[in-house]
Amino acid sequence: MAGDATAQVQRNARLMELLARTALADQRAFAELYRLTAPHLYAVALRILREGAAAEEVLQESFVNVWHHAASYVAAKSQPLTWLTGIVRNRCLDRLRRREIDTVTMDDDGEGVNIAAEGPTPLELLLAGADALAVRSCIEALEGGAKQAIALAFYQGLSHSELARHLKQPLGTVKSWVRRALERLRACLDSLGVTR
């Protein structure tokens, strides 16, 4: 969904209005908010959890949460879709954490990491996402391995040890790739005015 800027601004204004009305317990506004954002948020959850039933549950929990806490958005500074995406991603990562705790006795070097086979690869998504935000230069400035690691962690929810296995690198190498890539991203994105 690359960037017709006016359409973006209009969509954000619409979502803000719907969130504000949801905060006042307007069920019709809430239904419209769901209609406009659920397909995007469901895609986020599906990629990270790689399981339809779990993604459905996260979507359900997230929107119930939004219904009760929409008021905490009203004066917040972030864009509405960013706020919603954060809620969904945090719940997904909570689930991954529980899965990891449940399977803590399983060996760490067993089967490889299951990456979604359909649709664009994480790296393609990262570049497309960066294009839409006009920050492609920041992504392209990252080294190949670091770029892969950031894409896999962000879109697929891979942990450091999963990244190490998938990229066939020592854990320490992957950790420092990610840390350095985030530092460079911060400097680059901020110089392009991504944050306030």
Angle in degrees, CA 62, 65, 66, rounded to 5: 85
Among 14, 50, 136, 160, interactor with another protein by CB under 8 A: 160
Does 187 sit near another protein (CB under 8 A)?
A: no
Closest approach of another protein to the CB of residue 110, in Å: 18
Closest approach of another protein to the CB of residue 112, in Å: 18
Stretch that binds another protein, among 86-94, 106-114, 140-148, 164-172 (CB under 8 A): 86-94
| Residues 10-29 close enough to bind another protein by CB under 8 A | 20, 23-25, 27
Does 50 sit near another protein (CB under 8 A)?
A: no
- Residues 151-187 as b/e (b if ≥16 CB within 10 A, e otherwise) read bbbbbbbbbeebbbbbbebeeeebbebbeebeeebee
Does 7 sit near another protein (CB under 8 A)?
A: no
- Rounded-to-integer distance, Cα 79 and Cα 107, Å: 41
Closest approach of another protein to the CB of residue 30, in Å: 8
* Residue with token string 């962690």: 153
Looking only at Cα atoms, what is the longest distance across the chain?
52
